[in-house]
């Protein structure tokens, strides 16, 4: 990954283990698209859902995406409820993460 300042300004969500100044424009050759790829030992198939944040990356197979999304939403809501209780008990101002 490179041009990190521009990525931040443009709010483009990119996750990378390394930053490089190398330019490879014109030196890449694309052989195929819509094929499975292996990233970090995990096979990602076309249509799979890839979600990443500061804590890590998860790949959800397309056929499981709906069920995983339902579960994730439920967990997020439960987490907000518990954190809101903590904020209130500590006398902290409520923010968007607990509303």
Residue numbers belonging to the annotated binding site: 2-3
Residue set of the binding site for substrate: 2
**Secondary structure of the chain in the HEC alphabet?**
CCCHHHHHHCCCCCCCCCCCCCCCCCCCCCCCCCCCEEECCEEECCCCEEEEECCEEEEECHHHHHHHHHHHHHHHHHHHHHHHHHHHHHCCCCCHHHC
Numbered residues of the known binding site for Mg(2+): 3
């Amino acid at each position: 990954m490179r041009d990190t300042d521009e990525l931040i300004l443009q709010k483009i969500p990119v996750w990378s283990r390394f930053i490089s100044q190398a330019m490879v424009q014109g030196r890449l050759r694309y052989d195929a698209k819509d094929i499975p790829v292996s990233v970090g030992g995990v096979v990602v198939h076309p249509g799979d859902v890839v979600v990443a944040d500061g804590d890590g990356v998860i790949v959800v197979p397309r056929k499981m995406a709906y069920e995983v999304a339902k579960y994730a939403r439920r967990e997020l809501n439960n987490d907000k409820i518990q954190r809101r209780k903590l904020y209130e008990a500590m006398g902290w101002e409520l923010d968007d993460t607990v509303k």
